[in-house]
Structure 1
Amino acid sequence: MPESITIAVARRLSPLLLLFFLSTGFSPQLLADTATDEASLQEAWKTLTDKSYSKKEKAITLIARQNTADAYPVMKAMLEGKLYFSTRDKTLYVLSEEDNNYSFTPLFAGQSLTQESKRGFKKVKINNRLRTRLRQALALLQLQHEDKNLRLAAVQELLKKPDSNAAGLIQEVVETETDAEIRTAMRTLLAVIQLDSANEDEQQDAIEKLADSLNPSALNALSAYQPPNTALKKLADAAIQKINDR
């Protein structure tokens, strides 16, 4: 595919979305490829019913890029084990249970089906890698939401499993975030990730930042921290004491 087309596709993405795709191993060339007719959004929905986890991962990325109204609820249902498909025609449904009955609501169109068993339906299966990708995709979508409660929930979700990908997402938005509580949670997340740095000066800086944080994740991170030397151990112990004395 010509380089100009690849660049054009990349330019259509927000910086935050582009960062997510690159951090999950997708190149601009692959993003361009997913924009072709062969990998359309409709095909991505169908691919969620495929047995291949790698194909599902690509589908999740494409769906997140399109960011349609269905993207968030479907990914959430998939993560919670509530996304099913009909064994007859692969139509996607969201499962809900009530009074020992199973209700299957079609994702796009059609009537809901209620029955006493799950016969005729199969769960859209995921593995640990897909769980991580789904959490990141959900957080990505929420970090851009106008509702501050959803943005805060996204940061809290990333705090459950902080990593370099999460740091990249947060660094893109922390300085433009208007809510003080969310900014504090974001900076706590960055400090928690920084605590795992191989650089001892960065570890010290992270400890000092976490000592001033009111977020419960700060204490959790400091308690789990394995200092490489006595000086950092004393600093971490003092930070823990400072938090506990509040």
Structure 2
Amino acid sequence: MHISSRLLRFHLFIPIFLLTLCFSQSVSCVQTEKETQFTEGISHLLHGNFKEKELATKQIAGSSDSRAKSILQALLKGKLYRIKKNDTLVYAEIKNSQAKISSALTGEQLGSVKKRKLKKVTINNTLRSSLKATLARIDLTSPDSTTRLQAVNKLSKNLTPQDTILLSELLQTETNDKVQKALATAIAITKLQSNDTKQRLSAISNLSGNLNPVVRNELITLLGKEPDDAVRTKAESALASIESSISFYGFIEKLFFGLSLGSVLVLAAIGLAITFGVIGVINMAHGELIMLGAYTTYVIQQLLP
């Protein structure tokens, strides 16, 4: 009986051990793949052409490496260099002919070197635009809601249909109302590019009345290439709604500034009339003329566009 219980425990232990071993191996494999992805991305960034560099930035961002964001930010700011002698990737602060450098991979301070010993990792405008979107994707998972909101707004300017899945997943777990609204808007913008007419119509309905400048621009772009009459009609209606809202808020803005400036004129006129009347510079008739001038100015100000 004692031997049987030992055998039973042994048989139970074997599958648990094998399961643990398989799990640890799978985690190890994933980590190795991510490390390889990061290393390959760095290599292509150092030696590739602009197209290869664009792919490299996506590799680096997709590796989930803690160093990825800092490296990509430095690249965008023009502070990413490599040492010509050994291809070490560094951050550099250039001052005259000297450069204060630190390792981009380890953070180690490497002192100062001559600027000519460094080679800048260059980017073009296309890569710069892509890089901003890539950095925004990294910030989408930030613990700070303000950072997430800024990331969604930045990404909205450079969305692709592939972003729909990522944004939809984030929307399901998002708790901040402003970020939720921004994510919903971004998802609708991506669906404007869909081949499915129903999705485009649904997206337009969701975007109607939205005053985000990106939404207005995307609807105008859609109108320029949309073959479906129903979608065109819906887009025109949505644009009309947006333009109406813009005009209304524009009127409120002008009215507010007009009242503010007009009230200053009226107060100035009242003050001058009373002051000059008290000291005897003008009589009450002159004071009334000052008031009439102020009111006339205010009315004309309201009539002007």
Q: TM-score, normalised by structure 2?
A: 0.59
> Per-residue deviation at 1:84?
0.5
Residue in 2 aligned with 1:61?
59
- Higher helix fraction: Structure 1 or Structure 2? 2
Alignment of 1:175-190 (within 5 A): 175-190=172-187
The answer (yes or no) to whether the contact 1:158–1:166 under 8 Å persists in 2 is no
Aligned sequence identity (%)? 26
What RMSD, in angstroms, separates the aligned Cα atoms of the two structures?
Answer: 3.5
Q: 1:211 to 1:66 in 2, by over 3 A?
A: closer
Paired with 1:148 and 1:242, the residues of 2 have a C-alpha distance of 30
> Per-residue deviation at 1:185?
1.4
Q: How many residue pairs are counted as aligned between the two chains?
A: 217
Residue in 2 aligned with 1:146?
143
1:93 aligns with 2:111: no
1:8 aligns with 2:26: yes
Q: 1:122 to 1:179 in 2, by over 3 A?
A: same
> Per-residue deviation at 1:244?
1.8
* Worse overlay, 209-218 or 49-58: 49-58
> Per-residue deviation at 1:234?
2.2
Unaligned runs of 5+ in 1: 13-28
Residue in 1 aligned with 2:213?
216
Q: 1:133 to 1:230 in 2, by over 3 A?
A: closer
1:105 aligns with one of 93, 101, 107: 101
The answer (yes or no) to whether the contact 2:57–2:72 under 8 Å persists in 1 is no
1:55-96 superposed Cα distances (whole Å, 9 cap, x missing partner): 88458625642431x321211112343211111232222234
2:169 aligns with one of 166, 169, 172: 172
Q: Secondary structure of the equivalent of 2:180?
A: helix
> Per-residue deviation at 1:233?
2.0
Q: Secondary structure of the equivalent of 2:159?
A: coil
Paired with 1:136 and 1:127, the residues of 2 have a C-alpha distance of 14
- Identify the structure with bigger relative contact order (alpha carbons < 8 Å, sequence gap 6+): 1
Paired with 1:8 and 1:134, the residues of 2 have a C-alpha distance of 31
- What letter corresponds to residue 51 of structure 1 in structure 2? H
Q: 1:74 to 1:203 in 2, by over 3 A?
A: same
1:51 aligns with one of 35, 47, 53: 47
Q: TM-score, normalised by structure 1?
A: 0.71
> Per-residue deviation at 1:119?
1.0
The answer (yes or no) to whether the contact 2:34–2:63 under 8 Å persists in 1 is no
- What letter corresponds to residue 171 of structure 1 in structure 2? S
Residue in 2 aligned with 1:15?
none
